[in-house]
Structure 1
Amino acid sequence: FHGRRTASGEVYNQFELTAAHRTLPFGTVCRVTNLSNGKSVRVRINDRG
């Protein structure tokens, strides 16, 4: 998928912290947490799925 366009129209970059979501608006920043170790990252919604 690297280099292909996402649903938001931007080019997907596998090295950026982005995510897909069915209903959240593009550009929304969310926290994603690994429940096994408690570590979390912030990702920006830029695709659907």
Structure 2
Amino acid sequence: MERKKERKTPLDKFENEKFADQPPTEELNIEAEQEKKKRKSQDKSQSEE
């Protein structure tokens, strides 16, 4: 039985870099909450002027 050879492209040497690591969602959620609080306090201080 004859095996077909896979054609390799120059990009195949970067196979292990194909997918980026997933960002930690917990940290992103915390940052989003902090940003919301920051905006609320800015809006509040501007309306008091």
TM range (shorter): under 0.3
Determine which structure has the larger strand proportion and give its number: 1
Larger Rg belongs to: 2
With a CA cutoff of 8 Å and minimum separation of 6, indicate the structure with the bigger relative contact order.
1
- TM-score normalised by the chain length of structure 1: 0.18
